Amino acid sequence: MKKFKFLELSKFANIIIPYIYSIFFHYMSKFAIFFLLFISCAQDEINPSADYVPKLAKGYAITHTYYTLSYSPSDRQAEYAFYYLSVASIKGMQERTDDFRIDPSVKSNPVTSTSYQGSGFDRGHLAPAADFKLKEKAMSETFFMSNMSPMTPSFNRGIWSNLEDKVRENALSLGGVYVVTG
């Protein structure tokens, strides 16, 4: 296991920024997707406040019960999603809901559940459904279309899925992690 450098970030306790998978960046093509994993030493928050996540010029914050995202109306997708991944959320028993739908928090021109039909792209989660098994509401909120990014099937079901699995492994071994995807 690699050694990590500790940083101080406002209200959060000591946070560790682990390695970013170089192979992940190798497979990126058209979409600029970055995946950072923040690991907390001690934190009870279900959804970290949008006040503590970076604000990007194009987007506005949408805060759901269990995750926050910065939504870009011009791109019609999230710039990033941010959430705390607890052991309880991973080990929860909630089954996948697959209730893809418009996010009522998107102010104009929302992506619909059929927007990618026939495009050859998957509806890839930024905040993955498998990270929100604690409650039905948590699971269901991950199916808002604002949390989707068009991904090639091989990317979504391959390296992206593998990376999501690694994040869950880290959360289980460390007792919980902060996750930023985008």
Domains of the chain: 13-181 (3.40.570.10)
Which residues are annotated as catalytic? 125
- Of 160, 61, 168, 165, which is closest to residue 107 (Cα–Cα)? 61
Return the bridge partners of 69, or none. 62, 81
Residue positions counted in the chain = 182
E strands, 10-59, are: 12-16, 35-40
| Tens-level pLDDT at each residue, the chain (182 residues) | 333 333 333 333 333 233 333 333 344 433 333 344 443 333 444 565 555 556 666 788 899 999 999 999 999 999 999 999 999 999 999 999 999 999 999 989 999 999 989 999 999 999 999 999 999 999 999 999 999 999 999 999 999 999 999 999 999 999 999 999 98
The rounded distance, in Å, linking the Cα atoms of 18 and 2 is: 8
